[in-house]
């Protein structure tokens, strides 16, 4: 259950960052698009590594 909650939280944060980045890119603001995209991808990576592992029992 904790893994699902972490996945949903990470997904919401990453989609927010990617959406803001896409909006900035479509309006010609390349620097702002990059500024929103990198933290979203870094957050996804960090939360993915911090997620608890599955029980193999």
Q: Taking the mean position of all CA atoms in its chain, how far away is CA 3?
A: 15
- Domain assignments of the chain as residue spans, ordered by start: 7-50
Task: Inform me whether the pLDDT recorded for 19 exceeds 90.
Answer: yes
Q: What is the pTM of this model?
A: 0.73
**DSSP characters over the chain:** -HHHHHHHHHHHHHHHHHHHHHHHHHTT-HHHHHHHHHHHHHHHHHHHHHSPPPP--
Mean per-residue pLDDT over the chain, rounded: 86
Which of the four pLDDT bands, split at 50, 70 and 90, describes residue 31?
very high
Task: Inform me whether the pLDDT recorded for 20 exceeds 90.
Answer: yes
2-26 average pLDDT score: 88
Task: Inform me whether the pLDDT recorded for 33 exceeds 70.
Answer: yes
């Amino acid at each position: 259950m904790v893994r699902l909650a972490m996945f949903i939280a990470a997904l919401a944060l990453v989609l927010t960052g990617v959406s803001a980045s896409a909006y900035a890119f479509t309006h010609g603001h390349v620097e702002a698009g990059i500024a929103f995209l990198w933290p979203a991808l870094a957050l996804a990576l960090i939360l993915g590594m911090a997620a608890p592992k599955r029980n193999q029992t």
